[in-house]
C-alpha cells in the first residue's frame, strides 16, 4: 500500500470488554446490516487447562490491513482503499459477488448482502468523515474500543499501543492488520 494521509486503527482493550454485544447492535443499526449478518462480532476465547484457565473477550471486525489481500484479489476494483486512508471499502455497484475477496480474507470479515454484493466493516467511514466516532465505539459501556490515526503520535490509539502490551489476530498472515487488542 502506498503511504496514505491517515492510517486508521482500532484498539480493543480485552481486559475491560465484557462481551455485552452493544458494539454489534450499534453497528447493525447504524449500517442497516440485515438479520443474520454481522460487520462486528464478539469472540470469547478460553485458553489453558483446568484449573488454570483464562478467558479473553474480543470485539472483532475487518482489520483494515495495510497490505489487504482482499483489495488485491478483487477483479473489478470494488474492494479498495478509501481516498487518503487505509480504510477498506466496497463499491456495491462494482461488486460482482464473485467472493474472491472473501476467500482472500484470513479474518472471515466479509459477507454477501442480500442484494448480491459483499459487505464488511468500514470503521463507519461515513461517521468519521464528519468528526463522529465509529458507532461501535460510541456505545461501548466500558470504553473498551478506541479509534484514531496511528500516524498521529498524539492520538489515543498511538498512546495506548505505546504504553500497553498488545497483539493482532493472525500476525503471520502478513496483512499488517490495524486492529489491535490490549492484553
In a domain, 96, yes or no: yes
Distance CA 122, CA 82 (A): 9
What's the structural domain count of the chain?
1
* CATH for 126: 3.30.70.20
In a domain, 83, yes or no: yes
69, HSE (Cβ side, Cα atoms, 13 Å): 16
Q: Provide the grid cell at 40.
A: 462486528
In a domain, 70, yes or no: yes
Distance CA 66, CA 133 (A): 21
In a domain, 11, yes or no: no
Residues of the chain with pLDDT under 50: 1-2
pLDDT of residue 4: 64
In a domain, 19, yes or no: no
In a domain, 17, yes or no: no
pLDDT of residue 1: 41
Among candidate residues 25, 31, 24, 34, the one with its CA nearest the CA of residue 58: 24
Full domain range(s) for residue 108: 28-182
Average pLDDT of the residues of the chain: 96
Other Cβ atoms within 10 Å of 47 Cβ, number: 9
In a domain, 150, yes or no: yes
In a domain, 36, yes or no: yes
Among candidate residues 40, 96, 34, 42, the one with its CA nearest the CA of residue 64: 40
pLDDT of residue 5: 86
pLDDT of residue 62: 98
Amino acid at each position: 500500500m502506498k503511504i496514505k494521509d491517515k492510517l486508521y486503527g482500532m484498539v480493543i482493550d480485552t481486559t475491560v470488554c465484557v462481551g455485552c454485544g452493544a458494539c454489534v447492535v450499534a453497528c447493525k443499526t447504524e449500517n442497516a446490516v440485515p438479520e443474520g449478518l454481522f460487520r462486528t462480532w464478539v469472540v470469547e476465547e478460553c485458553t489453558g487447562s483446568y484449573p488454570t484457565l483464562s478467558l479473553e473477550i474480543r470485539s472483532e471486525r475487518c482489520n483494515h490491513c495495510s497490505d489487504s489481500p482482499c483489495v488485491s484479489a478483487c477483479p473489478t476494483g470494488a474492494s479498495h482503499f478509501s481516498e487518503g486512508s487505509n480504510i477498506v471499502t466496497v463499491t456495491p455497484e462494482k461488486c460482482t459477488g464473485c467472493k474472491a475477496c472473501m476467500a482472500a480474507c484470513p479474518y472471515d470479515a466479509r459477507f454477501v448482502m442480500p442484494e448480491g454484493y459483499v459487505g464488511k466493516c468500514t470503521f463507519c467511514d461515513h461517521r468519521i468523515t464528519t468528526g463522529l466516532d465509529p458507532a461501535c465505539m460510541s456505545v461501548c459501556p466500558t470504553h473498551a474500543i478506541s479509534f484514531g490515526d496511528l500516524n498521529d503520535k498524539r492520538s489515543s490509539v498511538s498512546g495506548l499501543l505505546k504504553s500497553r502490551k498488545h497483539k493482532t489476530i493472525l500476525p503471520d498472515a502478513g496483512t499488517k492488520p490495524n486492529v489491535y487488542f490490549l492484553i
